Structure 1
Amino acid sequence: MTDYVVRHFADEEAIAHVGEGFLARTLLKTEWTHEAHLATTIYLTLRYPEIDLDAALPDMIRAYNESVGGVNDDTQGYHDTITRAYLHGVRLFLAGTNRAAPLHELVNALLNSPMGKRDWPLCFWSKERLMSVEARRAWVDPDLERLP
């Protein structure tokens, strides 16, 4: 993943665009990038604390995927273990940072942190286990190292 260029967010409006677009299911499929997933998770965590993301986020992502013509099956769409791993990573990141910072600065700092990297889950799961149908359907414990 070393040659992947991280797409940062210019301002709070860019974060609100992906967060609210996700909620309303109006965000274009092409905008639903790795960075948008993480920006949305921080946005929902900080702007909608009344949402129980552990309970609601899986169905929210599935519904969004379907709204843009995607499929949630054994090979594509929603991936439970990856989603829950990144939700854990976002919370870990936020616990160690100043939540009062501008939202886009928080998101950009997350994207530059270990927890924001595209391959962060592979520090804890073997690729074979993480990409399994079982891990896509439900939480599967890491097989390499425990999450911090």
Structure 2
Amino acid sequence: MSDPETPTAPRLFPDDAAIHRIGEGLLDRSLPRADWTHEAHLAATTWLLRDRRDIDVDATIATIISTYNKAVGGVNDDTGGYHDTITRAFVAGIRAHLAARDPSEPIVGSVNALLESPAGQRDWPLRFYSSALLFSVAARRGFVPPDLAPLPAAC
């Protein structure tokens, strides 16, 4: 039995193809729901930001994820599904991560390094948000600015 205070190791990706499969499956809604893990969220967002420059992530991420959630039988309501503030906090963290990486690096290296970094941890947004604010309905439904510290900016 694992200690609830000890974070579990992230599930790393074996190669670029696995990340492309996640990203493409998100976009075309063919990704099995069971594969939409925390790691998949971060991998798909990294792929979108780095390799799909034709997609305006800031303008479309809410629609992309919400539409996917509905397509696989999920909901997007006040208690479940798409969470705007958490998503946008991770987008900020991924942008900062990518700004510090070699853009010619295979995406698997960048994604796996992200997953092993503080910004890849599930609770990373709590460095910037109190639990009460982050888990509020307002934060789920739309972006709210952090109340503890500013989100990182990409250099």
Tell me the TM-score normalised to structure 1 length.
0.97
Aligned-residue CA RMSD (Å): 0.9
Aligned length: 148
C-alpha deviation, 1:128, in angstroms: 1.1
Letter aligned with residue 97 of structure 1: R
Task: Give the % identical residues.
Answer: 53
Match of 1:120 in 2: 124
For the pair 1:34 / 2:38, whether they are aligned, the reply is: yes
Match of 2:105 in 1: 101
C-alpha deviation, 1:3, in angstroms: 3.1
- Which sections of structure 2, spanning at least 5 residues, go unmatched? none
**Residues 1-148 of structure 1: matches in 2 within 5 Å?**
2-148=6-152
Letter aligned with residue 27 of structure 2: L
C-alpha deviation, 1:2, in angstroms: 2.5
Letter aligned with residue 25 of structure 2: G
Structure 1 residue runs of 4+, over 2 Å off?
none
C-alpha deviation, 1:146, in angstroms: 1.3
C-alpha deviation, 1:50, in angstroms: 1.4
Letter aligned with residue 103 of structure 2: R
Distance 1:3 1:125 in 2: 19
